[in-house]
């Protein structure tokens, strides 16, 4: 019902990055602390947002373990690297947190992003983008940034990248409920 109202903004769980929302609260909290105010709510929000990448990666790892995968030898495809959908901007993307956490678990991670510039991804994060992921090659697919090109894919098309027992994580819930193995 709320979505039918004028000026409704449909916020969803996800990774909060970018050059504005992911950074500006720190300027505000710094100034607030400088004048003697302790902005606990703002700082709590930032702690939640800053830990969402590792949390999401850990949830994927748990799902992989439950389906019998040996995580340390698993191959994961992360779809989307930019900080938000349909935008080539890589500044302060929190998808990198997911990738690093999965790598810390021992996963081999391929990253694809139809909007991001490969040279910038390599320069800023040391991540070389995969142009065309191979079908049936992955133990898990992590749909991190649902650019319109990815959101237009059905769960069947996304599952085509997976091995038979693979796990599909739809971070932002763009697929119909029940079509992904995991979502926030």
pLDDT at residue 168 is higher than 80: yes
Mean of the pLDDT values across residues 175-182? 97
Instruction: Report pLDDT for 170.
Output: 98
pLDDT at residue 169 is higher than 90: yes
Contact 56, 171 (CB under 8 A): yes
Instruction: Report the C-alpha gap between 90 and 69 in whole angstroms.
Output: 31
Instruction: Report pLDDT for 49.
Output: 86
pLDDT digits (tens, 9 = 90+) for 18-27: 777 777 888 8
pLDDT at residue 107 is higher than 80: yes
Q: Which domains does the chain have, with CATH numbers?
A: 53-183 (3.40.50.720)
Instruction: Report the C-alpha gap between 158 and 4 in whole angstroms.
Output: 30
Instruction: Report the C-alpha gap between 80 and 89 in whole angstroms.
Output: 11
Residue in this structure with the two tokens 């085509």, named with its chain if needed: 160
pTM, entire model: 0.91
Strands (E), the chain: 75-79, 108-112, 138-143, 162-170, 182-183
Q: What pairing do the DSSP bridges indicate for beta strands 108-112 and 75-79? A: parallel
Q: Which of these is catalytic: 20, 87, 107, 114?
A: 20
Instruction: Report the C-alpha gap between 104 and 152 in whole angstroms.
Output: 31
Percent of the chain with pLDDT over 90: 81
- Residue with the larger pLDDT of the pair 138 and 23: 138
Which of the 8 DSSP states describes residue 160? T
Q: Given strand 108-112, what is the order of strands in its sheet?
A: 108-112, 75-79, 138-143, 162-170, 182-183
pLDDT at residue 8 is higher than 90: no
Tell me the two tokens of residue 160.
């085509």
Told to judge if 20 belongs to the known catalytic residues of this protein, a careful annotator would answer yes
pLDDT digits (tens, 9 = 90+) for 54-106: 999 999 999 999 999 999 999 999 999 999 999 999 999 999 999 999 999 99
**Degrees, nearest 5: CA angle 89-138-179:** 80
Q: Which burial class, exposed, middle or buried, applies to 140 when counting CB atoms under 10 A from its CB (0-12, 13-18, 19+)?
A: buried
Closest CA to 144 of 124, 174, 123: 174
């Amino acid at each position: 019902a709320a979505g039918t109202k004028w000026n409704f903004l449909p916020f969803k769980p996800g990774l909060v990055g970018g050059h504005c929302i992911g950074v500006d609260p720190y300027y505000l909290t710094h100034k607030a602390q400088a004048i003697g105010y302790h902005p606990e709510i703002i700082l709590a929000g930032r702690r939640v947002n800053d830990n969402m990448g590792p949390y999401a990666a850990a949830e994927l790892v748990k799902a992989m373990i439950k389906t019998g995968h040996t995580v340390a030898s698993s191959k994961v495809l992360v779809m989307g690297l930019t900080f938000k959908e349909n935008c080539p901007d890589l500044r302060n993307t929190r998808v990198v947190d997911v990738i690093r956490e999965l790598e810390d678990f021992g996963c081999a991670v391929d990253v694809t992003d139809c909007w991001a510039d490969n040279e910038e991804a390599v320069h800023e994060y040391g991540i070389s983008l995969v142009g065309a992921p191979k079908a049936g090659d992955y133990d898990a697919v992590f749909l991190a940034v649902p650019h319109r090109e990815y959101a237009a894919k059905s769960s069947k098309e996304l599952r085509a990248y997976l091995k038979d027992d693979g796990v599909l994580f739809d971070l932002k819930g763009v697929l119909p409920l029940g079509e992904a193995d995991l979502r926030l």
